[in-house]
Amino acid sequence: AFVGRLVIIVPYLWLLFFFLIPFVIVFKISLSQTAIAMPPYTPVLDFSGGWFGFVGQLRELSIDNYTLLTKDSLYFNAYVTSLIIAAISTVLTLIVGYPIAYGMARAPAAIRPTLLMLVILPFWTSFLIRVYAWIGILKPEGLLNE
């Protein structure tokens, strides 16, 4: 029973340690005030003032860094453009991916491994080969601009 629980707990501890804790640290940094120091923000966890000093630091957290994003048009436009591109990418991926997945699920069992291999194969190609393919597609006399 203990080994079974340990097998379940270890991946959650891994996720906690390598994903949740760094996310919380970066989120806290994003809410902290900028400081002319190294690093250029208030410390993430500073217990030098004791518990009351730590609570005082939590009270100093603000969303000023996020409101700055809406005030500066350069940051705001970059943020909105990123969201639009992400939404378009998501929709296009769903439009292309669902019919392929449906076809693979309904295909005869004998050819499913082959279809799966055809889907996975492009991810095995070298990054350099993909870059050269995109150069060929996107160059002025390339496939896309003809």
Q: Per residue in 123-145, pLDDT tens?
A: 887 778 888 888 999 998 888 88
Residues 65 and 8 both lie in one domain? yes
Residue 64 belongs to domain spanning: 1-69
Cβ atoms of 28 and 61 closer than 8 Å: yes
47 pLDDT band (50/70/90 cuts)?
Answer: confident
Q: Per residue in 58-117, pLDDT tens?
A: 788 888 888 888 888 998 999 999 999 999 999 999 999 999 999 999 999 999 999 999
Q: Is the pTM above the cut of 0.85? A: no
pLDDT of amino acid 103:
96
Residues 7 and 57 both lie in one domain? yes
Could you count the other beta carbons within 10 Å of the beta carbon of residue 20?
A: 11
- Cα 51 from Cα 58, distance rounded (Å): 11
Q: Which of 69, 98, 128 is the last residue of a domain?
A: 69
Residues 1 and 64 both lie in one domain? yes
Residues 140 and 129 both lie in one domain? yes
- Cα 1 from Cα 65, distance rounded (Å): 48
Cβ atoms of 25 and 44 closer than 8 Å: yes
Q: Give the residue-averaged pLDDT of 47-68.
A: 80
Specify the number of domains making up the chain: 3
- Cα 46 from Cα 39, distance rounded (Å): 13
